[in-house]
Amino acid sequence: MDNPYTILEKKDIVHTFLTLCSFISISENRKINLANVFLLVLKEERYRQLFKESLLLDSNFELVKIFLQHDPCLYKSKYITKYLKKNSINL
């Protein structure tokens, strides 16, 4: 069983994550689903840095892990698969 601090920390991470996803949607001036937010984060260094700084993450790997924990089916997106086959980011 998790202690109360751990529970609050997890809830805070989820809240911050969803807030940042909403921020990206507003910044891009269109309604974007989570797969497209993930794609933008992979493509744009500024969004990647924003997520890492806000969520207190050290690496791109941790950032990808957070996205996949939130929605484990993201890897099935044909757009994400296509992007990852063409490009690579340093994890």
Residue 83, pLDDT > 70, answer yes
pLDDT for 10 beyond 80? yes
Residue 12: pLDDT over 80: yes
Domain assignment of residue 8, yes or no: yes
Q: Is residue 64 part of a domain?
A: yes
- Domain span at 51: 4-86
Question: What is the predicted pLDDT for the residue at 5?
Answer: 92
Cα(75)–Cα(67) distance, rounded to whole angstroms?
10
On whether residue 45 sits in a domain, the answer given is yes
Q: Does residue 91 lie in a domain region?
A: no
User: Does the pLDDT of residue 90 top 70, yes or no?
Assistant: no
Cβ neighbours, 10 Å, residue 67: 21
Q: Could you write out the three-class secondary structure of 4-25?
A: HHHHHHHHHHHHHHHHHHHHHH
Whether residue 59 has pLDDT greater than 80? yes
| pLDDT for the residue 91 | 63
Structurally, the chain folds into a number of domains equal to 1
d(CA 69, CA 66): 5
Residue 25 located in a structural domain: yes
Average pLDDT over the chain reads 91
